[in-house]
């Protein structure tokens, strides 16, 4: 059974990610959703006064809140479990849980129009995507689930045999069984592709031959604008990236750029690392 982990702080952003996960699980075969809330162990307020008589009381309240959230999602025939964990670091705690429970996919919301909105589902989501031991599906604000039929993989076509995380990529594609589009954006492309690019394409074609990928080379300066336009032109449902730096992930969601990927187009992104 595929296990989909959804961290939540009960915000609208995380609830939307959970709703997306449940609807997606209904489309998948043999999948369940685990709603998880991670909290610090808090014994008193800033003035030293107790917040609860017993820390277990707080845990029970949080677990009941998860159960209420589960009911709000109306999962129908989808199996949904609830879990609470204590930890000072959300990302570290989730990483341990992913390893211990053999999670297949983490699903998290993203926000970040202002610094206040980044408290939970901003920087933590990007950190999880950059460091996670399993693929992380990032759900933009207000994204609505639709069956994932078309997936685009953005690649720089450099040493693909060592830089493409093949096993987790295949596992993710096998979840959805979509049409696979592989895109390279490079302003230095000319009428004829170089022998180097042709060689890298041949490697990728062999690596992913089971998915019958289609290849696209786009000559354009702005990567984000190019991918955004491609998702519109080809009715893309999911974008796959292989993050190599925090700055790249952050750039995907910077709202100061009106055409940036996914934040405005509402297309989910799955970040996959080896």
Per-residue pLDDT of the chain (274 residues; tens, 9 = 90+): 999 999 998 988 899 999 999 999 999 978 999 999 998 765 444 444 445 556 677 778 889 999 999 999 877 889 999 999 998 888 999 999 999 999 999 999 886 544 434 444 457 887 888 777 899 999 987 789 999 999 999 888 888 988 899 999 999 999 999 999 999 888 776 666 788 888 999 999 999 999 999 999 888 887 778 888 898 899 999 999 887 655 556 666 554 433 444 444 578 999 998 6
Note whether 2-139 and 150-271 share their fold. Answer: yes
The pLDDT of residue 141 is 78
Choices 1.10.10.10, 3.40.50.720, 3.20.20.80, 3.40.50.620: CATH for 150-271: 3.40.50.620
Which one, of 66, 40, 65, 43, lies nearest residue 54 by Cα? 43
pTM: 0.85
Q: What is the pLDDT of residues 204-240, one digit of tens each?
A: 999 999 999 999 988 888 777 888 889 889 999 999 9
Measured CA to CA, the distance from residue 272 to residue 130 in angstroms comes to 8
Q: Pull the structure tokens for residue 228.
A: 């955004």
| Domain segments of the chain as ranges | 2-139, 150-271
**The listed CATH number (3.40.50.620, 3.30.1120.80, 1.20.58.190, 3.40.190.10) that belongs to domain 2-139:** 3.40.50.620
Helix (H) or strand (E) holding 116: none
What was the pLDDT predicted at 120?
Answer: 43
Exposure of 63 in the CB half-sphere (CA atoms within 13 A)? 12
């Amino acid at each position: 059974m595929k296990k989909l982990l959804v961290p939540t702080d009960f915000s609208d952003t995380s609830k939307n990610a959970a709703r997306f996960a449940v609807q997606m699980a209904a489309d998948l075969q043999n999948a369940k959703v685990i709603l998880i809330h991670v909290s610090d162990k808090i014994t008193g307020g800033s003035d030293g006064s107790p917040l609860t008589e017993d820390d277990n009381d707080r845990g029970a309240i949080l677990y009941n809140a998860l159960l209420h959230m589960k009911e709000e999602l109306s999962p129908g025939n989808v199996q949904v479990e609830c879990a609470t964990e204590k930890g000072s670091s959300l990302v570290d705690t989730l990483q341990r849980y992913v390893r211990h429970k053999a999670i297949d996919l983490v699903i998290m919301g993203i926000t970040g129009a202002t610094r206040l909105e980044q408290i939970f589902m901003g920087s933590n989501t990007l950190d999880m995507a950059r460091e996670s031991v399993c693929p992380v599906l990032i759900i933009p604000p207000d994204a609505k689930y639709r069956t994932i039929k078309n997936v685009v993989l953005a690649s720089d076509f450099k040493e693909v045999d060592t830089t493409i995380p093949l096993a987790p990529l295949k596992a993710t594609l096998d979840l959805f069984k979509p049409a696979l589009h592989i895109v390279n954006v490079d302003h230095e492309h000319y009428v004829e592709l170089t022998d180097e690019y042709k060689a890298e394409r041949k490697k990728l074609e062999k690596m992913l031959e089971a998915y019958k990928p289609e290849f696209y080379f786009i000559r354009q300066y702005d990567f984000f604008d190019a991918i955004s336009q491609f998702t519109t032109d080809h009715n893309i449902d999911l974008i796959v990236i292989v993050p190599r730096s925090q700055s790249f992930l952050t750039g995907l969601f910077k709202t100061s750029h009106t055409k940036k990927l996914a934040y405005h187009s509402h297309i989910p992104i799955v970040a996959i690392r080896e």
